[in-house]
Amino acid sequence: MSGSLVVVGAGIGFARITLEARAAIAAADEVLYLVPDPVSATGIEALNSNARSLHGFYQEGASHRAAYKRMTEAILEPVRAGKRVCVAFYGHPGVFVLPSHEAISRARAEGFDASMQPGVSAEDCLVADLGVDPGVNGLQSYEAGDFLSRRPTTEPTTPLVLWQIGVVGARTHSANVTAPRLGELVKLLLERYPTGHRAVVYEASSYPGVAPIVRDLRLDDLGADTVTLASTLYVPPVSR
């Protein structure tokens, strides 16, 4: 099989893309990418003129899974045609990126060489920006919708990170904040943390020299007007 696939991380902002990822993008016959900012898109296209975005597979009001299925097929098509394909996803390509795992698994099952390279993730940025050390008290990390649906047992004395709070409960794609179950999430957290417990709404910066969004608030003040599509919730531990 002459076709191959390598999935790389574009980092949180193009300034954080690794040298390994740059080399993979430059060497590919065809490059597909999914990034949220124009600087990253321009940077990827500058590395390889045969680069195109996967963003068009999202459709307003359509399910995320339908978009991911179309992306996976778009990734595999040139691989099957014998091309060296590189796909670049925002942040770390293995974190909250269903098409990357699915494409690699299917490519390998079909006999093609397929691999993943790590990238700088939002969690890496959170650790740096908020001064969180998972080696001290550990770290609990969940996708917000999954956390709300499964309601896993948590340890209040260990920091908690909830991802994608700006779309919690949303079943379809939207360019705007749609978090229909954010109120339920807040209610669940208030059952586990004391009254007045503070948290941080965090958003990593995609641009050098631009500060991240770090909004300190009480858990009971968390609402749709305090989050964006890229927001993460960091809940500090309760004092022992």
Pull the structure tokens for residue 200: 């941080």
Is 26 within a domain? yes
Whether residue 200 has pLDDT greater than 70: yes
Spatial distance between the Cα atoms of 125 and 102, rounded to a whole number of angstroms: 26
Is 240 within a domain? no
The predicted model gives 172-199 an average pLDDT of 86
CB-side exposure of 156: number of CA atoms within 13 Å? 12
User: What does the pLDDT look like over 67-76, one tens digit per residue?
Assistant: 899 999 999 9
Nearest to 189 by CA among 214, 156, 163, 213: 156
- Would you say 16 and 127 are in contact if contact means Cβ atoms under 8 Å apart? no
* 141 and 59 within one domain: no
User: What does the pLDDT look like over 114-169, one tens digit per residue?
Assistant: 999 999 999 999 999 999 999 998 999 999 999 999 999 999 999 999 999 988 87
* 224 and 141 within one domain: yes
Element spanning 142, H or E: strand 140-143
Amino acid letter for position 198: R
Category of 131 on φ-ψ map: left (φ > 0), alpha (ψ -120 to 50) or beta: left
Looking at residue 63, which CATH number applies to its domain? 3.40.1010.10
Q: Residue 189: pLDDT band by 50, 70, 90 thresholds?
A: very high
* 188 and 96 within one domain: no
Other beta carbons within 10 angstroms of residue 210's beta carbon come to 9
Pull the structure tokens for residue 4: 């191959």
Nearest to 89 by CA among 175, 47, 129, 31: 31
Is 8 within a domain? yes
- Would you say 192 and 173 are in contact if contact means Cβ atoms under 8 Å apart? no
Please give the DSSP secondary-structure letter assigned to residue 172.
B
* 101 and 14 within one domain: yes
Nearest to 25 by CA among 69, 2, 14: 14
Would you give the distance in Å from CA 43 to the centre of its chain?
19
Q: Residue 238: pLDDT band by 50, 70, 90 thresholds?
A: very high
Looking at residue 190, which CATH number applies to its domain? 3.30.950.10
Is 207 within a domain? yes
Which of residues 81, 116, 151 is at a domain's end? 116
For the chain, give me the number of helices (H) and strands (E)? 8, 10
Is 193 within a domain? yes
* 147 and 76 within one domain: no
Give the structural domain span for 141: 122-235
Number of domains the chain is built from: 2
Is 219 within a domain? yes
* 145 and 103 within one domain: no
* 146 and 41 within one domain: no
* 106 and 69 within one domain: yes
- Would you say 119 and 93 are in contact if contact means Cβ atoms under 8 Å apart? yes
Which of residues 116, 133, 162 is at a domain's end? 116
- Would you say 207 and 216 are in contact if contact means Cβ atoms under 8 Å apart? no
Distances (CA, A) of 196 to 10, 102, 202, 205, 218: 38, 42, 19, 28, 6
* 16 and 76 within one domain: yes
Is 32 within a domain? yes
Strands 198-203 and 232-235, bridge-based pairing: antiparallel
* 133 and 99 within one domain: no
Which of residues 92, 116, 140 is at a domain's end? 116
Spatial distance between the Cα atoms of 149 and 147, rounded to a whole number of angstroms: 6
